[in-house]
Homo-oligomer: A and B are copies of this chain.
């Protein structure tokens, strides 16, 4: 039988492919990976569409209890649902390797993820460099490994996609120590917070990678009905209200003039866009 790893796409239950739905409907057990990304709908809506219970798989389960997920997958079909595309996170690769080592047949059903849907802002996907993750700063932990990566991209005129942090099922240190299974409400980094952290690190490291006049692109709820794409200077984006999660952020490198034409349509202020955008004429 088959262990299906099925991408759900970006927004709601109807973003699954026909192939994906058929696979899911053939399964005895259906797990939903619910910590590296989130769908915009509750699992009850998935259950209604599938006509079958959906089990939430948190990080603990996927990383330490994969045997439960893979149990009997040589006798019955099992589905593991992933928001976006199945290969967005390393964890899933690990699960696939475990399945194969137990001689379970694995089939992947691809879907859109932010890594390709980001093309919607008009910057061409082949002009992106490495992707960076921006994690929530705390009082004592302010990791800035994204900074040299953004610099490396910009040094060769490439765009940078910034993936913004998601905190799901986090515990306070107190609850963690006491072993209380009490979880904090989920937190999703906003574009405002991202820009704030980026500017803080530029201030600290001072290598002139970007500044408050650099053009950025905020994208909220990509692939949803109420998707928003807004281009502006970092300073303009620092206070722009993008509404509900999920947010992503792009720092354009040198833009081809056709890319700039599209992006300008999304500018908060066309004048500042034209003043600060780095545009190549050929």
Contacts and interface: CB of A to CB of B under 8 A. Distances in A.
A279 interface: no
Interface stretch (A39-47, A56-64, A123-131, A241-249): A123-131
Q: Please give the count of copies of this chain that the complex contains.
A: 2
Given A16-B17, A18-B14, A7 B90 contact: no
Interface stretch (A27-35, A106-114, A173-181, A213-221): A106-114
A122 B93 contact: yes
A93 B263 CA distance: 11
Interface in A147-172: 152, 156, 158, 163
A281 B90 CA distance: 16
A126 B130 contact: yes
A216 B246 CA distance: 35
A182 interface: no
A97 interface: yes
A261 interface: yes
* Listed residue (A94, A108, A265) with the most chain B CB atoms within 10 angstroms of its CB: A108
Contacts of A133: 126
Interface string A229-261: 000000000000000000000000000001001
A9 to B, nearest CB: 6
A73 interface: no
A119 B86 CA distance: 8
Interface residues of A, number: 52
A222 B86 CA distance: 13
Given A10-B110, A17-B17, A110-B223, A87 B125 contact: yes
Contacts of A94: 258
Contact of A14 (B15, B19, B87, B156): B19
Interface string A1-38: 00000010110011111110110000000000000000
A6 to B, nearest CB: 11
Contacts of A10: 110
Given A13-B18, A88-B119, 16 more contacts: A9-B110, A15-B17, A15-B18, A15-B110, A86-B119, A87-B116, A87-B119, A87-B125, A88-B125, A97-B262, A100-B265, A110-B223, A111-B111, A111-B112, A112-B113, A128-B130
18 contacts: A7-B112, A9-B111, A10-B110, A15-B17, A17-B111, A18-B21, A85-B117, A87-B125, A90-B258, A100-B265, A110-B112, A110-B117, A110-B223, A112-B116, A125-B131, A126-B131, A127-B130, A128-B130
